A and B are shown apart, each in its own frame.
Chain A
Amino acid sequence: MPTAARWISPLALLALWQLASATGVLDPDTLESPATILSTARELIETGELPEALLVSLRRAMAGLALGTAAAIVLGTIAGLTRAGDALVDPPMQMLRTLPLFGLIPLFILWFGIGETPKIALVALGVVIPLYLNLVAALRGIDPDLREVAHTLRLTRREQARHLIAPGAMPGALVGFRQSLGVAWLALIVAEQINADAGLGYMINNARDFLRTDIVVVGLLAYAVLGLLTDAIVRVFERRALRWRGDAMGRGVTA
């Protein structure tokens, strides 16, 4: 029952919204009714406009995510595993961390123009920081007792990386990656507001010009669905990679 109970208030709010729209209390120029939004969504899917915009945005997010992740893994590994790397890499990263991400947009436009590059670069930069910070902390946190074991078992560097470093840093790195994923979508939404000729942001901005609040809401919902979907994928991977921790005592036995 408690799960069902949690549905009551959202559904009531939705009904109230529909009622307000139907009675004219809520002006469609402010916010369209849920029913209109639903039919608009169906329409946008049928014309192919929404899937196309979605794909463009998804591609930008993934490109930025891939770049940022790669940079964070390289920099984080250097800073987390070597003292010299820490001294060289960490200070600039800590400085970068304090910069307001979205304050960099004007510079990015000047540097990269108004095409795809500044959008992907903004996503990548947003992705780097949380993953880097969590990865460095995770690498530094690897149990020194286990490092001693690796030493007494005479593991090669390769074997240490495979059996000790990578799995040892994985839980912390995944926490960072999920944060990065959240930032990626946020950065993309902001980047797409500025100037885009395709993608969800473009669709939303166009709709704003024509006071189509229904399309704006559909665009926002599409962002939300993408965010939830990518997060779910990471969670599935997380559960597999961290199954040694086991949610319940008995469950991992079959693994």
Chain B
Amino acid sequence: MSAVAGRRVALREDLSPASREPVVRLRGVGRSFGDAVVLDGIDLDLRPGEFVAVLGRSGSGKTTLLRLLARLDRGLTGELATGSRPAVVFQDPRLLPWRNAVDNVALGLRGPDAWPRAARALAEVGLDGRETAWPRQLSGGQRQRVALARALVREPDLLLLDEPFSALDALTRISAQALVSTLWRRHRPAVLLVTHDVEEALLLADRTLLLDGCRIAYDERFDAPRPRRRDDPELVARRRNLLARLGVEDDHHPQENDR
């Protein structure tokens, strides 16, 4: 497994020597709200193009970590260097309801090619022909794809995904996960995916972190080739292991695991 990882990293470094610098670098990062310590002594590096999933129970600080990396929260202690062009996809799509799909994607893009770039990004997430639809005319899954296009059109070096599939129905979620995997392979941003779905983490990520007790309690790499199968024995075994680490032994309801 590590040989596969080594080869891929080497390949990327050959393409772009400067990319050896990590996109994200955290040293001893902590965050508390009043007396409640949420994160404490977090050390973390994300290499360019690395796909990292963050698992943890509710309230374990997953979203707090993501918000720090998105610079939406500046009340931290410790050292933090984050992507120069971070982009965020939230749990809910957060589209401007008074702007149509393509204008939502084009928000903040400058220059005469803003509109065609936004239209191309929409086409990439499978929404060509829906450029002038209002958000309320789109389904939940389509809205989330607009949000994904809005993030990717900026060519981010760091893509932050905050439980982006959790509000979608099971079928839509599967296709949205596949879409993210495809787009990641094409654009190669570093990704930090916050999720509470262990299977999702293993399907998508190179590396899975487990947040517990305000710290990164566990950090494992998974270098299986993509696309990955949910019934791959290696994935199933890892899933069981991760669930056990999250304190969940029951293995009978894969979709309901740790909510």
Residue ranges of A at the interface with B (Cβ–Cβ < 8 Å)? 145-146, 148-155, 159, 163-164, 167-168, 170, 242, 244-246, 249, 252-253, 255
Known: A145-B94, A246-B137. A155 touches B132 (CB 8 A): no
Given contacts A145-B90, A149-B94, A168-B98, contact A253 B133 (CB under 8 A): yes
The reply to whether B87 and A253 form a contact with Cβ atoms under 8 Å apart is no
Q: How far apart are the CA atoms of A154 and B109 in the complex, in Å?
A: 10
When the two chains form their complex, are residues B70 and A152 in contact, meaning their CB atoms are under 8 A apart?
yes
**Which residues of the partner chain A approach B30 to less than 8 Å between Cβ atoms?**
none
B150 within 8 A of A: yes
- 4 extra interchain contacts, Cβ-Cβ under 8 A, other than A159-B107, A163-B99? A167-B98, A244-B100, A244-B134, A244-B136
Select from chain B the residue with minimum beta-carbon distance to A164.
B96
Measured CA separation A149–B99 after assembly (Å)? 14
- Name B108's contact: one of A148, A159, A255 (CB within 8 Å): A159
Interchain nearest-CB distance for B86 vs A (Å) = 7
**Chain B residues near A249 (CB, 8 Å)?**
137
Instruction: Evaluate contact between A146 and B90: CB separation under 8 angstroms.
Output: no
- Inter-subunit contact A244/B107 (CB<8 Å): no
B interface, how many residues as a size bin?
20 to 34
Q: Is the CB of A152 within 8 A of B98?
A: no
* Known contacts A145-B90, A148-B72, A151-B72; A245 and B136 CB within 8 A of each other: yes
Select A163's contact among B71, B72, B96, B100, beta carbons within 8 Å: B96
CB of A185 to closest CB in B, whole Å: 30
Q: Which residues of B contact A154 (CB under 8 A)?
A: 108
Instruction: Return the 8 tightest CB-CB contacts between A and B, nearest first.
Output: A167-B98, A153-B108, A244-B98, A152-B88, A149-B94, A244-B134, A155-B108, A252-B134
CB distance from A255 to the nearest CB of B (A): 7
- Residues A153 and B150 in contact in the complex (CB < 8 Å), given A245-B136, A253-B133: yes
CA separation between A246 and B138, bound complex, in Å?
A: 13
* B225 sits at the interface (CB 8 A): no
A sample of 20 cross-chain residue pairs with beta-carbon separation below 8 angstroms, ordered by A number, consists of A145-B90, A149-B88, A149-B90, A149-B94, A152-B70, A152-B72, A152-B86, A152-B88, A153-B108, A159-B107, A167-B96, A168-B98, A244-B97, A244-B135, A246-B134, A246-B136, A246-B137, A249-B137, A255-B132, A255-B134
What chain B residues lie within 8 Å of A168 (beta carbons)? Answer: 98
B40 interface hit (Cβ, 8 Å):
no
Measured CB to CB, the closest approach of chain B to A168, in angstroms, equals 7
Binding site for A on B (CB under 8 A): 70-72, 86-88, 90, 92, 94, 96-100, 107-108, 132-137, 150, 154
Q: Which of A155, A167, A252 contacts B137 (CB 8 A)?
A: A252
Report the Cα distance A154→B100, complex, angstroms: 19
B69 to chain A, nearest CB (A): 11
| CA–CA, A249 and B133, complex, Å | 11
B94 contact set on A, CB distance < 8 A? 145-146, 148-149
Return B112 CB to nearest CB of chain A, in Å.
Answer: 16
Interfacial chain B residues near A145, Cβ < 8 Å: 90, 92, 94
What are the residues of chain B within 8 A of A245 when measuring CB–CB? Answer: 97, 136
User: Which chain B residues border A152 with CB–CB below 8 Å?
Assistant: 70-72, 86-88
Please name the residue on chain A nearest to B136 by beta carbon: A246
Q: How far is the CA of A159 from the CA of B107 in the complex (A)?
A: 8
Which residue of chain B has the shortest Cβ distance to A145 in the bound complex? Answer: B94
Are the CB atoms of A153 and B107 closer together than 8 Å? Answer: yes
Distance A12 CA – B145 CA, assembled complex (angstroms): 60
CA distance A146 to B96 in the complex (A): 7
How far is it, in angstroms, between the C-alpha of A150 and the C-alpha of B99 when the chains are bound?
A: 13
Nearest CB in chain A: distance from B157 CB, A: 14
CB neighbours (8 Å) of A150 from chain B are 107
CA of A143 to CA of B200 in the docked complex: distance in angstroms? 30
A152 to B85, CA, bound (A): 10
Q: Which residue of B lies closest to A249 (CB)?
A: B137
Q: How far is the CB of B136 from chain A (nearest CB, A)?
A: 6
Chain B residues in 8 Å Cβ range of A155: 107-108
Task: Kindly provide the distance from the CB of A148 to the nearest chain B CB, expressed in whole angstroms.
Answer: 6
- Complex Cα gap A148–B73 (Å): 10
Residues in B with CB closer than 8 Å to A148 are 72, 90, 94
